[in-house]
Structure 1
Amino acid sequence: MHKRIQRDKKAVLAVAVSCMAFGIGGMTQAFAAQGAEERAQKMEADMEVPKDPAQAQGSDAYDLGSTVISADRHKIRNPYTTGGDVNVITRRDIEKHNDSTVQDALQRIPGVRISTPGYRGGEYGFESFNTEFTINGEGSIVVLVDGSRVDNDANAFAGNKSRVNLATLPGIDDVEQIEVIKGSGAAIYGADAAGGVISITTRRGTKEPRTALNLSTGSWGHHRASLTHTGADASGTLRYALSMSREMSGDTAYQDAYTGTSQRFDNTHYQSNNLSFGVSKDFDAQHSLLLRYYHADETAHYPITAPDYRTMGSFYSGTMAPVNAATHRYVGLSSRIPGYRNIFLYDAWLGSHDETRTNNASLRYVFGKTDEGAESFVHLFRNYTRYNMTDYAGIWNVPYPYIGAFWDHAKAYPGQHEDIEQTTGASVQLARRIGRHSLTGGVHFRKSEYEGHSPDGTSDTSRTMLDLYLQDKMRLGDKFVLTPGLVYTHYGSGRYEGTHFASAGKLTGSLYGSYDFDRNSNAYFSAVQIFKPVTGLDRSRQFAGDVLQDETGWSYTVGASRKFTPRDSAEINYGVTDMDNAIGRYSIHDGMQWRRYSVNAKRRKQALNLAYTHHFGKAWSLGTSYSWVHETFSTKRVRRNPDGTNPDDFINAYRPRNIYRTHLTYDRNRWFADLSYTIYSGNDTRFFSDSHFDLLDLSLNYQAGKDWQIYLNGYNLLNTAYETRGLAAYGPGALPEAGRSFMLGAKYTF
């Protein structure tokens, strides 16, 4: 173990040296180009690159559509982070790309991977059949809405508490900005933000009253309508924002990889509604009050998997496995049988679905700010989400020729369960600037509760969490910033379904550094301890011979950025997550029902991000990025499941290893267009239908008048058959993404 850790540290050091060389090389090039300074200044003036309105005047910033990169590293946007790979999605980006959801906006960011089963719905507690988003391949992500965490410590929608149901987030019409921090970011975010932080800031209102009506329609009966109103009182110090939206879609279609035909994806229709309201009061430059509330509800159907059309003959003939002549049910039906997933057609035909209802509120009082924007505040919040699931697994192993005798009973008596998550929390933070030291410390407390109801009975549990954090952002000269941090985390004890889980606490450390070679070149690093305790949910699913341990490990990040010319900039980021102990989660069917298991495992993840942007002139720009992730998950003690399968096949997340993205953007006068070309490669063909996938998407926006905006979005224009997730149990092509589709809309502002 010691030798391996030493090798890891040497590898990180080697990458750090390489990044330093990258920055020094760029600095040398800058010196060599010193004689061309006047030409560069003229070229920059000729470009007239649009600036992000959120940046202060004089900031040297580029608005790259989905990503804002600032070449002025001394202009600190997030006062808590130290260097790092940070992307900001502004309101302007959202409107130009006509995003319908937060997910739409996030998936353009290099290193962010949205992995879906091909549909919106999903069953509570099952990781495999819900949307997952990762940063640099890491799923331990802290998601904040106006500073409030939206996860739950007592239980977990998708098995892992860091995985947040996107349906519980505010509607995109209420989003002002999304900040994506790759890596832990800062001590204030806690000891479990190994992958990074997604911080959503909602809208605050406008000085003048403004109302926007947005209507769109498209493929598969996809319709969306939203209404937003913002304004302020006469003094401009009391502002408000109100938004509401409804989105619905019929069953989607996908391109089947093996038949080459377009197939309807049965039972993928949905309807979602969002309502948000916020009011803020600025008493003076140092004191303000913000009250926020948002409601989200969604009814989304899910088919579990797509059928395998190559083996439909055995499904319809009832010959997938031996049949018990007395019960008319299969005997020995398992995922190892070809075409096994076709049995899930019953769920699709009967209409398995979930209903999600979210009501979240927060109150934040700021009583001080440093000159960098770090806040002293008191923050209160309350999150509530209820899930109602309906599935039809009772006829799971009935051969198709006998299904008529079971159908009416299955329809009348579905499997139903209700899951309720609630979290109440409070935070107090103090921030002070003392000379070269920017000190931020605070305490965060939250109590998470879970209650579940099913035909098997009722279960409930709760858990408290206390975070004490302190960090010192030290300026060691004009170029170097070093930020050490400490976090003490304590989780309370409790019970879950008769299983006791003990309290857990740990003091973890972090270190962040950033060095400016010059105004245009920067390198950074971080080393952060990770701590996540065993949840009651996981404890109840452990094997007797594999008592679960807390998740512990380290996360390392190094990177550099360089603005070569007024037209060209590049970034590199490399990260390693090394978990001494991680928890793997998976589900198997024991012949009677689904069983979920949690096991101790070792996990190692490496990730690399490269990004380059070139501006051709006043209107055209080209952005390219490459993301690579390699992850290995291996159990420590459990080598064989009760059904004979290998647990390593289930706990490993099979995703495309490489993602190449290119954005060709035109932005001038009334027109905006973004043509995006994405390549997913390095796919393991044991789990994916092809080793690589090619996607082409288009966002087109025309400002028809002062108040009118017309837009068109085209998705998967090549109609590629592809998946963003593979499951060992069900074979390639089980979770296909949607085929070619379009959305046409108009927005009127008055």
Structure 2
Amino acid sequence: MNKSRKTNRKVMLTSVICSALMLSTTVMANAEEYRLDEVVVTASKTKEAGNPNITGGDVNVVTREDIEKHNYTTIEEAIKKIPGVQVATPGYRGGEYGYANYNTEVSINGENNIVILVDGRRIDNDVMSYAGNKSKVNLSTITGIDNVERIEVIKGSGSAIYGADAAGGVINIITRKGAQQPTTTLTLESGSWGRHNYSLTHSGSSDDGSLKYFMAIGRQMSKDSKYKDAYTDSTQQYYNTGYRDENGSVNIEKNFDANHSLNFSFSHTYEKAHYPITAADYANIDRLYNGTLSTTSTSPGYRNWFLYDAWLGSYTETKSNDVDLKYTFEKDQDNYLESFIRVYKNYRWYNTADYSDLWGTQYPDLTEDDWAAAKASGNLHTDIETVKGAVLQVGRQLDNHSVTSGIDYRHSEYEGTTSSRRYDSDRDSLRLFSQDKIKVSDKFTFTPGLNYTRYGSTSYNNTKYSTGVTTSSFGDATNRLTFSSFANYQANDSTDVYFSWAQIFKPVSGLDYSRQSASDPLEDEKGTSWTIGTHKTLSNKDSLNISYGVTDMSNAIARYSIRNSTDDGWETKAVNASRKKKAFNTGYTHAFDTIWNLTASYAYVDENYHTKRTTINPDGTSAEQLINAFRPKNVYQLDLGYDKGKWSGDLAYTVYSGCDKTYFTDNRFGIVDIGVNYKLTSQTKVYFKMNNVLNTAYETKSISAYGTGAFPQPGRNFMLGVNYTF
């Protein structure tokens, strides 16, 4: 694929909104409680000290109540308000497999190496990543938001149970289970740009309550979105950004007695999302229409070549089918320990059609036959990820020790095909873990843990590559024993202090080896991560949370794309790099009364890659310039909440600052969102949402090669919905 490819009134309105927010607010999810696994846990209590997953730390939870109150439509939307979590999008849903720049990226404290779980089950693939070195999992392929009970976000390394590669943190998505009483909910939404969302859920149980079930189906669709262009100060259509998303899920659980249960879950998603690559450069659009647009990537308006791809309808399809069977054979209700065995299969299918044959042909020279021929010859490629796994976990309470140990086996496969090539890779992995949560006293818990991870031999496209280490070559097995420790001290009823430290280990994938330079052979990723913080209850109306974390990678792998001089296409390079990431998060909550509440938060991230050996590419570009993540360094959030009688709602103001104007259209963006709910009856709710009320031109990510403003975020848009439960 070819990809070499901003009023006074606003200021016044923004000031008024800011003043209102500062005077008046939604309590943060982790101010009072957080939840992990299937247990509700109050952070300041000591009776849960035995819970193996609660190691103490910076934890936030988005509950089902939050999802319904804010009427979230995607998992990404639900987590992006959490301090330290950034969801950077190109402004559209569709992306291309293997290209981080053209996909939605999720990071925690600036770190993209995060572990995504569904009901505690890993869903990533050990041999490939849909977005290169960025997010390993496409959140839109997991499950529909109507199937989500809560989302748990751990910032910094998580429990040893989660593995040694969770450098940034862990996102655990807990799905919904059946209810004792039969309940059905229908949701209908409609809004800007031809958006329509529909969902139906139903839950129930057997007469004796031992068998419970939950089912959900949903569909979301939209035509092309619009955005505010920063340079022309006009609202423009973001061509080829429409989508259709469908999902379905079922969960069935049979409880045999207090200690034994069997749970089966299945989730299916399908999405066809159009793929524009970038937005047009309207400041230089005339160069395209008059035939003077240059194919040199540094020339003004270069990315307008991608309008051909958009006008021809390039798209990406994704499909997922996940099956999970879990048998629990022992439960310690008092200490939240669980012993179980599970088997599962995760399947991801990506299919991309990129109509790029017209790239480089001047617009005035194109004929109807040229357009027809280009439409008939889309460059197709399909990528399939499959993971089959089994987990055995045993939990035991031994006096003041909550010991959790287990074994996790996974077989990961990848297959990629184009019209002329086929790629494949597979790898077995085995992980042994053990963790002891020690209740040293009523106020202090200490949790040491260890992980032994072994990745079996593998190859990429039947090829082995030298690692530059004389004792091994790519394809050979690799293993490492890593350690972690977590400490939590409750100084008093209002103050909780925590610290965590963990070693990080992640092997090189076969695809990365195929992209290495001969002068820079790749090595496994290694490093450490630590976090320190405190939760402080200031009064019965106020609370404060502060955390600081550092991830220090002695060897990270960075990826970027450069022009291939041989065929005028693009190729991805992978290089060794050192990386140090520093993150600071703080949140303050205040309840004015039982009606009004305020949340204020601040998140800071500073991250830098430094290449070890490769500095200048063959095309003269700087590797360090291309691999560093260009993102806002500061995110400020204010949220004013209201809840009285039948009315509830919130007014949110988000500021992104510290943006490098070399890559962003401004160094600061302010976004206002509003939501209102009205309960017609005990069973019916109507609601209204408006995002980007001021129609601000802004971006949450950038790409150095295509100039500023290549990935604009959606302009002012609204959604009107109704929710009926019976």
TM score, norm. by length of structure 2: 0.92
For the 8 Å contact 1:369–1:375, the answer to whether it is kept is yes
Q: 2:406 aligns with which of 442, 453, 475?
A: 442
Question: Superposition pairs for residues 51-62 of structure 1, below 5 Å?
Answer: none
Structure 1: how far apart are the matches of 2:134 and 2:264?
26
Q: CA deviation at 1:185?
A: 1.6
Query: What is the CA distance between 1:75 and its match in structure 2?
Result: 5.1
Other structure's SS at 1:411 match = helix
Instruction: Please tell me the residue identity of whatever aligns with 2:301.
Output: G
> Which stretch of the first structure deviates more once superposed, 93-102 or 264-273?
93-102
Contact 1:155 1:161 (C-alpha < 8 Å) held by counterparts: no
Q: Tell me the distance in 2 between the aligned counterparts of 1:645 and 1:311.
A: 24
Q: Residues 304 and 236 (structure 1 numbering): CA distance in 2 closer, same or farther, change over 3 Å? A: same
Equivalent positions of 1:313-462 (< 5 A) are: 313-321=286-294, 333-370=295-332, 371-404=334-367, 406-462=370-426
* Structure 1 position 546 matched with structure 2 position 504: no
Q: Which amino acid is the alignment partner of residue 345 of structure 2?
A: R
Contact 1:499–1:539 (Cα < 8 Å) also in 2: no
Letter aligned with residue 611 of structure 1 = G
- Give the drift of 1:71: 5.5
CA distance in 2, matches of 1:158, 1:365: 33
Identify the match of residue 524 of structure 1 among 498, 501, 514. 498
Determine if the alignment matches structure 1 residue 735 to structure 2 residue 697.
no
Tell me by how many angstroms 1:395 deviates: 2.4
Q: Hey, what's the Cα distance between the residues in 1 that align with 2:558 and 2:69?
A: 40
Residue in 2 that maps onto 1:508: 482
Asked if 1:725 is matched to 2:688, the reply is: no
* Matched letter for residue 577 of structure 1: T
- Cα deviation, residue 674, structure 1: 1.4
Question: How far 1:649 sits from its partner (Å)?
Answer: 1.4
Distance 2:350 2:32 in 1: 46
Could you tell me how far apart the structure 2 residues matched to 1:252 and 1:737 are? 9
Secondary structure of 1:379 counterpart? strand
Mapped to 2, the partners of 1:70 and 1:388 lie a distance apart of: 44
Q: In 2, are the aligned partners of 1:50 and 1:62 still within 8 Å (CA)? A: no
Higher mean C-alpha deviation, range 739-748 or range 386-395:
386-395
- Once the two structures are TM-superposed, the CA of residue 421 in structure 1 deviates from its matched residue by 0.6
CA distance in 2, matches of 1:620, 1:477: 38
In the alignment, structure 1 residue 266 sits paired with structure 2 residue 242: no
| Cα offsets for 1:405-458 (capped at 9, x unmatched) | 632221111100111110000000011111111101100010000111101221
Structure 2, unmatched stretches of 5+, are 1-25, 465-473
Q: Is it true that 1:497 corresponds to 2:469 in the alignment?
A: no
How many angstroms apart in 2 are the aligned matches of 1:506 and 1:335? Answer: 43
CA shift for structure 1 position 317:
2.2
Q: CA deviation at 1:61?
A: 5.2
**In structure 2, C-alpha distance between the alignment counterparts of 1:140 and 1:311, rounded to whole Å:** 37
CA distance in 2 between partners of 1:676 and 1:378 (Å): 43
Contact 2:74–2:140 (CA under 8 A) maintained in structure 1 = no
Residue matched to 1:76: 48
1:446-487 deviations in Å (ceiling 9; x for gaps): 000011110122121101111100111111111111111110
Letter in 2 for 1:128: N
Deviation at 1:69, TM superposition (A): 9.3
Asked whether the 8 Å contact 1:376–1:430 carries over to 2, the reply is yes
- Change over 3 Å in CA distance of 1:75–1:611 after alignment to 2: farther
Partner in structure 1 of residue 9 of structure 2: none
Comparing 735-744 and 636-645, the one that deviates more: 636-645
Q: Secondary structure at the match of 2:380?
A: strand
Instruction: Check if 1:590 corresponds to 2:564.
Output: yes
- 2: CA distance, partners of 1:218 / 1:75: 47
1:76, distance to aligned residue in structure 2 (A) = 3.4
Q: TM-score, normalised by structure 1?
A: 0.89
- 1:7 is matched with none
Matched, 1:104 2:77: yes
- What is the CA distance between 1:227 and its match in structure 2? 0.5
Q: 1:167: Cα distance to partner?
A: 1.7
Equivalent residue, structure 1, for 2:692: 716
CA distance in 2, matches of 1:489, 1:707: 50
Asked whether the equivalents of residues 152 and 161 of structure 1 are also in contact (C-alpha less than 8 Å), the reply is no
The total of aligned residue pairs comes to 682
Query: What is the aligned partner in structure 2 of residue 654 from structure 1?
Result: 630
Q: Which amino acid aligns with 1:739?
A: G
Deviation, 1:399, is 1.8
1:163 aligns with 2:136: yes
1:620 matched to 2:585? The reply is no
Task: Rate the CA distance shift 1:71–1:459 in 2: closer, same or farther, 3 A.
Answer: closer
| CA–CA separation in structure 2 for the residues paired with 1:280 and 1:178 | 20
Residue range with higher mean Cα deviation, 279-288 or 549-558: 279-288
Q: State the alpha-carbon separation in 2 of the partners of residues 747 and 206 from structure 1.
A: 19
Partner residue, 1:15? none
The yes-or-no answer on 1:132 pairing with 2:105 is yes
CA deviations 1:507-547 (Å, max 9, x no partner) are 00001101000111011111100000000010011111110
- What SS does the aligned partner of 2:511 have? helix
Q: Is the 8 A contact 1:51 1:62 kept in 2?
A: no
Residue 87 of structure 2 corresponds to which residue in structure 1? Answer: 114
